[in-house]
């Protein structure tokens, strides 16, 4: 800033910059800085410095205004961002709650289907056992009536019926175990879902 001022003075006076600097140093030492004795040159310098101070003050005010505007804009953006984030969070909470309710409904439907399937399977198995019991009674009666004809035939029929009953018991046991395991698994899933809430 000072070098541009010295350059401007040198051009207006038609001197070199070194001569202007020497002249200023000499004047600075000789002349007192009182308004009464200030020559035109010092008044010119004072006006230049006052103008520079005005420019600096205007620039400082503009910077302050710009900073205030930026701060206000940042606060506005911050509040808008917080509102958007809260809106997204509420929407995600609603979606998760909806999915959770849907999953609970599906699990409840599966549990009811399993209970109904188990009930119908049990009724079917009881009906088969009842039919087998009646068949066994009929076979026993026929066997008792045939006991007069031969003991060997009676033993063979009794063994065949016993093997058939064993197969049915094994089959019933083989079906009962998966049904119980799946029921226990569903109950475990329901307990985990209830505890996770």
Q: How many domains does the chain have?
A: 1
User: Which residue reads 């997204």 in tokens?
Assistant: 88
DSSP letter string over 121-167?
A: HHHHHHHHHHHHHHHHHHHHHHHHHHTTT-HHHHHHHHHHHHHHHHH
Cα separation, 36 vs 33, whole angstroms = 9
Q: Residue 161 falls within a domain, yes or no? A: yes
Question: pLDDT digit string (tens) for 33-65?
Answer: 555 555 566 666 667 767 777 777 888 888 888
pTM greater than 0.85: no
Q: Residue 24 falls within a domain, yes or no? A: no
Predicted confidence band at 28 (pLDDT cuts at 50, 70, 90)? Answer: low
Q: What is the pLDDT of residue 107?
A: 86
Provide the residue range defining the domain that includes 154.
31-196
């Amino acid at each position: 800033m000072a070098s541009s001022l010295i350059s401007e003075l040198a051009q207006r006076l038609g001197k070199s910059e070194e001569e202007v600097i020497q002249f200023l140093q000499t004047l600075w030492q000789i002349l007192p800085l009182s308004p009464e004795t200030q020559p035109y040159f010092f008044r010119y310098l004072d006006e230049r410095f006052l103008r520079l101070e005005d420019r600096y003050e205007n620039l400082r005010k503009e910077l302050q205004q710009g900073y205030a505007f930026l701060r206000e804009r940042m606060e506005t953006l911050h509040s808008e961002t917080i509102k958007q984030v809260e809106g997204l969070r509420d929407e995600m909470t609603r979606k998760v709650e909806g999915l959770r309710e849907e999953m609970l409904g599906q699990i409840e439907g599966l549990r009811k289907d399993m209970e109904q399937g188990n009930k119908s399977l049990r009724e079917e198995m009881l009906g088969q056992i009842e039919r087998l019991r009646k068949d066994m009674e009929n076979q026993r009666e026929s066997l008792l009536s045939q006991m007069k004809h031969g003991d060997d035939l009676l033993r063979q029929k009794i063994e065949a019926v016993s093997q058939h009953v064993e197969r049915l018991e094994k089959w019933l046991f083989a079906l009962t175990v998966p049904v119980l395991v799946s029921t226990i698994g569903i109950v475990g899933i329901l307990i985990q879902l209830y505890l996770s809430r």
